[in-house]
Structure 1
Amino acid sequence: MQINLLIKAAAALLLAAAQPASASAAPIAGPVHLAGTAIIIGGALKYDNDVVWKRIVDAAGGPGARFAVFATAAAKPERSAAQIVAALNAQGARAEAIPVAPRWDGVDLQANLNDAALLAKVAGAQGVFFSGGAQELIVDTLQPSGEPTAMLKAIWSVFNRGGVVAGTSAGAAIMSTTMFRDAQDALQVMKGDLRRGKEIDRGLGFTGPHLFVDQHFLKRGRIGRMLPLMQAEGYKLGLGVEENSAALLRGDEMEVLGAKGVMLVDLAQASTDPGLAGFNLRNAQLSYLESGDRHNFTSGLTTVSAQKLAGHLIDQKAAGFQPFFSNQPFILDILGDTAIVNAMSHLLDSPHAELLGLAFNGRSQGSDNRPDLGFEFRLHKGEGSRGWFSAAAGGENYTVLRLRLDVLPVVIKRPFYTPLNGSR
């Protein structure tokens, strides 16, 4: 009898472990279902990152898969294309550079865009890879004035029959229907610099009309520019990919690959106050997924990696919850390098209900006539906020699900500080 009870208990534990990690939480859903495979790389992809390079080739059919490499965005396209071709071929691909780039020396760009032999090579490939550089060069070359060239149609034919379109940095920026064209200062975007043809432009749209994509996301604090664009353009779902990391999207599934992770931004329940004189947002939902984590856009469920499941569950509602952090820091530069995800991890693994941060630089530059304008970021816990921690990879690795974010415009009084007791 006792043995039977033990068997039943073990079976129940196995069944529970097999359930999606977020099955009890409200889903992050979105109408995303791709015809082909989009592999979005956050930039700074190292050539020894075999996990990402191999998955790119495997997704296109494995060794022998033909790839067309476009270094259209690159400052030195011949060199960039050669490096990418070598990295793909090292994983067994048959990659070839397509000389379609405005900065490619000695190339007739318009002739190559319509060259029958090149078009046939691209259309017959199993995968297409876009390099980094300046994303405006990609859209201006392949989609001038919003109209697709014959070369872009050939690329779409690869994707529509189930092939791979991969891109790093600039090659990732063009994946959604709208992209950042030239918006290096995230805080300026929050202050209102969001002009079509200047800061933003039309992308190529491989991720469909409902998912916005940005890259170099944590390193460059780009949560600050993603939120205003999503609000202005009506996106409910955003994907920010970190450097040397990738999101592999196939059908309605996403898998995270590489060194770090991705941020999922959900504005389905978010609201704004039009009476406030500045960008503001309430009840955005943020989730941070790391390598090995998966997300289904139809069900909205996130399944964490086996490594995280073997680690430590962080759930304030769980019996015996013991937070690692006890302090409640104020983040002075929430748009700093990895600051937003560090704040999310800290809040989740603490007993506190909220954590505050500030986005502010105090400089008057360009069209900015409001140097005293800043933004308060209020991260707080809500229904379904939980996560996992693992030190198995040698660092402090968190997966964080469903924290809430409010953004409020604030006026920063200056000087920020004065000398103590009048000393200088």
Structure 2
Amino acid sequence: MLKQLMFGLALAFGGIGAGLAAEPPKGSLVIIGGGLRPENAAVWEKIVLLAGGKGARIAVFPTAAENPAREGGNAVAFLNRYGAQAFMVPLAPRLAGTDARKAAEDPAIADAVRNAGGVFFTGGDQARITGSLRRQDGSNSAVLDALWSQYRRGGVIAGTSAGAAIMSSTMFYDPPLDVIPILKHGVVDGKDIAPGLGFIGDDVFIDQHLLVRGRFARMLPAMLKKGYKLGLGIDENTAAVVGPDREVSVIGYTGALVLDLTEASTDPKQPIFNLSNARISYVDNGDTFNLVSRTYVPSKGKEPVDRNMREYREALFYTDILGNTSVVNLLEKLVDSNLERATGLAFEGPTSKAPERGFEFTFSRAPDSREYVTNREDAWSIYRIRMDVRPVKMQQPLYTVE
């Protein structure tokens, strides 16, 4: 009950300018990790359904896009293909002949957004979204207040890539493209991270393009710096649907990672990033996770992993834990083995500064770990594996030429 009260207050203050909300929003979020394909009917149809079903009015925000006319037009066409009556909101810094800040205060645009059944944010640069929808003094524009109004009333807010990043109260802003520099040097407010729009509340940190770009590791320093205990990272062509009851359903191509730092700790004597006793979970397509109770439910057809039918027997060791889908592949092998732990390394290239310094990730079964699989699709659900991270040093040079 206390968590739900705090969540309601957090969301209420997220809508400063429209008055405090008496209760949490009645609407839903569809948070897409980027790369949403036109043929992904499960995600597009879910957006339309939550917006009111066939004929629902959905406001498309191409605000983040480099080419907003093209990206906005495509999103409108895809939503309409799945039964919506979508329209593009002319509010984007890169949209020719318009002023984004002026459009954000336009009463007609605000009314159209407020009265829609839902909104959809395209991908691009998330700084363009927050920079357009918030005034220079940090207060809400008229259109941002309208967004909160329709969300509180029961509408859906959907976003892909940059449109996913804005969902939490802190978002990645302009971080390095590689993950290792963030682990080595941490994150800087106003550069690497900045305030998001906070639709999901103040208690969950969101990141996108998660598995294909190995970004789960960059979430950790950001979460520690800003005090987040929960992190939700969504992969490409996949969505996390967050209902008003704080139940998260995963739909789409792959899944999402949940990082739980509730019982985690760091060694302040270590000058470089380190972490002990975190929990990492892979929530697969069809699985659900409750943000309040922290409970997981695997999709229909999945059963606990049979300990007598495990495949892997040799030590599990990955040399690049930040590679494409590496972390989930390693977790799947761990739970499909009789081993207690698996290890992955993360290093930069030889031309980087201090290439000999990197990080060791250890994944271990814990008393509260749970593992499920369906043989029909070989699909895994892996909950609450312990994760520890420590800085390590590699001997240089790695090899010599005789």
Structure 2 counterpart of 1:340: 327
Correspondence for 1:115 among 106, 110, 133:
106
Map residues 251-330 of structure 1 onto 2, 5 A cutoff: 251=244, 252-309=246-303, 313-314=304-305, 316=307, 321-330=308-317
Partner SS state of residue 154, structure 1 = helix
CA shift, 1:44, in A, is 0.2
- C-alpha distance after superposition, 1:293-344 (max 9, x if no partner): 11122222211111324xxx2165xxxx331212223110001100111111
Name the counterpart of 1:411.
393
CA distance in 1, matches of 2:126, 2:135: 13
Is the 2:62–2:72 contact (alpha carbons within 8 Å) kept by the matching residues of 1?
yes
Pairwise CA distance, 1:247: 0.3
Gaps of 5+ in 1: 1-28
Instruction: Indicate if the aligned counterparts of 1:176 and 1:213 stay in contact, CA closer than 8 A.
Output: yes
Counterpart amino acid of residue 399 in structure 1: S
Whole-angstrom distance in 1 between the partners of 2:399 and 2:343: 19
State how 1:81-120 maps to structure 2 within 5 Å. Answer: 81-120=72-111
Q: CA deviation at 1:108?
A: 2.9
Aligned counterparts, 1:326-405, within 5 A = 326-363=313-350, 365=352, 369-393=353-377, 396-405=378-387
Indicate whether 1:157 and 2:149 are aligned: yes
Tell whether 2:205 aligns with 1:218.
Answer: no
Q: Which amino acid aligns with 2:369?
A: S
The 3-state SS of whatever aligns with 1:374 is: strand
Partner of 1:21: none
The 1-side partners of 2:263 and 2:28 are apart by 29
Q: Hey, what's the Cα distance between the residues in 1 that align with 2:100 and 2:285?
A: 39
- Structure 2 CA distance for aligned equivalents of residues 391 and 101 of structure 1: 47
Give distance in 2, aligned partners of 1:164 and 1:362. 43
Q: Which range moved further: 345-354 or 381-390?
A: 381-390
Q: Which residue of 1 aligns with 2:159?
A: 167
Moved more, 72-81 or 155-164: 155-164
The structure 2 residue matched to 1:126, chosen from 98, 108, 117, is: 117
SS of structure 1 residue aligned to 2:262: coil
Given the alignment, which residue of 66, 73, 82 partners 2:57? Answer: 66
Q: Match of 1:304, as an amino acid?
A: P
Partner of 1:16: none
Contact 2:61/2:119 (8 A) holds in 1: yes
Q: Does 1:204 align with 2:184?
A: no
- Which consecutive unaligned segments of at least 5 residues does structure 2 have? 9-23
Q: Which amino acid aligns with 2:282?
A: Y
Q: Which amino acid aligns with 1:338?
A: T
State the alpha-carbon separation in 2 of the partners of residues 277 and 116 from structure 1: 51
CA deviation profile, 1:166-205 (whole Å, cap 9, x unmatched)? 0000000010000001222211110114111111110000
Q: In the TM superposition, what whole-angstrom CA distance separates every residue of 1:332-359 from its partner, at most 9, and x where no partner exists? A: 0001100111111111111111111101
The amino acid across from 2:271 in the alignment is A
Instruction: Read off the aligned partner of 1:412 and give its amino acid letter.
Output: M
Q: State which structure, 1 or 2, has the greater radius of gyration over its C-alpha atoms.
A: 1
Q: 1:194 aligns with which of 184, 187, 199?
A: 187
Q: What is aligned with 2:174?
A: 182
Q: Distance in 2 between matches of 1:68 and 1:235?
A: 31
Normalised TM-score (structure 2): 0.91
Give TM-score scaled by structure 1 length: 0.86
Q: Which amino acid aligns with 1:177?
A: S
Return the offset for 1:144.
4.1
1:23 aligns with none
Residues in 2 aligned to 1:267 and 1:108: alpha-carbon distance in whole angstroms: 42
8 Å CA contact 1:114, 1:150 repeated in 2: yes
Question: For 1:374 and 1:134, how far apart are their aligned partners in 2?
Answer: 29
CA distance in 2: counterparts of 1:285 and 1:136, whole angstroms: 30
**Partners of 2:161 and 2:102 in 1: CA distance:** 27
Structure 1 position 112, deviation (Å): 1.7
Aligned residues: 380
Classify the secondary structure of the residue corresponding to 2:338.
coil
**Alpha-carbon distance, 1:119 to partner:** 1.2
Between the aligned partners of 1:208 and 1:130, the Cα distance in structure 2 is: 18
Deviations along 1:247-281, whole A, 9 cap, x unmatched?
00012211000010010110001000001120000
Deviations 1:115-136 (A, max 9, x none): 2211110111110110000111
**Partners of 2:33 and 2:188 in 1: CA distance:** 24
Instruction: Give the structure, 1 or 2, with the largest relative contact order (CA under 8 Å, sep 6 or more).
Output: 1
The CA deviation at 1:363 is 4.5
Matched residue SS, 1:285: strand
Query: Identity of aligned pairs, percent?
Result: 44
Q: Give 3-state SS (helix, strand or coil) of 1:306's partner.
A: coil
1:1-21 per-position Cα deviation (integer Å, ceiling 9, x unaligned): xxxxxxxxxxxxxxxxxxxxx
Cα offset, 1:402, TM superposition: 1.1
Shift of 1:386: 2.4
1:415 is matched by which residue type in structure 2? P
Shift of 1:385: 1.6
Residues 186 and 222 of structure 2 are in contact (CA less than 8 Å); yes or no, is this contact kept in structure 1?
Answer: no
